[in-house]
Amino acid sequence: MTDVVRPREDTRARIVEVAAQLLREQGPTAVTTRGVAHGAGVQAPTIYRLFGDKDGLLEAVAEHALADFTSVKASVVETAAAQGVDPLVDLRAGWDTQIAFGLENPDLFRLLNDPARFASSPAAAAGLQVLRARVHRIAEAGRLRVSEQRAVGLIQAAGVGSVQTMLAPPAGQRDAGLADEAYEAVLRQILVDAPPREEGDGAAAIVAFRAVAPQLEVLTAAERALLLDWLDRAIAGSA
């Protein structure tokens, strides 16, 4: 069984790699069944059998590319946490990487951010989890004034919107500072100026406590659930 499955997996991977290269270099119109089959050294029916149609192939390309990109981001976040890198420095690095990826891979970026595809993509879910991990570190540091969920949503919306806006005009006419300004605007909405002290920002202190509350093993599961519900309501009321 393994000997039969392995060639099928190798063929599928080769087809996806060829389609991804055509997409990067020539755009979606170049990803034809005939062109991909020729580049991968297979017959066109093989593509239909493995992917169903061109849309299925493009979906596989998007998932493959996002999975690779996300795995790199996840390892960077893990390293940053282990080395005690400032969570805001780590967040900015992730933002810059995401913006650069979108501008360098416009067709792939549009595929990846198709709402219908994003909602059902395991790789997209993994990428979102990387952003959540970055935001969680900021919450633990006492720098977040809004809920982690709201912060993630604002950062994600600003990142996708910035790339889409910058991709609209020709490359030479793009506003190079737009993404930086959008990032700073989001930070002004989600951060306090400094870690809260006794006289500091109460909302940030609540958010910081919310970040660590699920780890309070001294409480029962029911007690933790009740505490989290109180904290979530307190955060929502202070927004």
Q: What digits encode the pLDDT tens for the residues 128-178?
A: 999 999 999 999 888 998 999 999 999 999 999 999 999 999 888 999 899
Residue spans of the domains in the chain: they are 1-52, 53-238
- Per-residue CA distances from 106 to 75, 88, 190, 213 (Å): 24, 27, 28, 40
**Cα–chain-centroid distance for residue 7?**
32
How does pLDDT run across 112-132, given as a tens digit for each residue?
A: 888 877 777 887 888 899 999
Determine the CATH number of domain 1-52: 1.10.10.60
Pinpoint the alpha helices (H) of 142-201. 148-167, 178-190
For the chain, strand residue ranges (E) read none
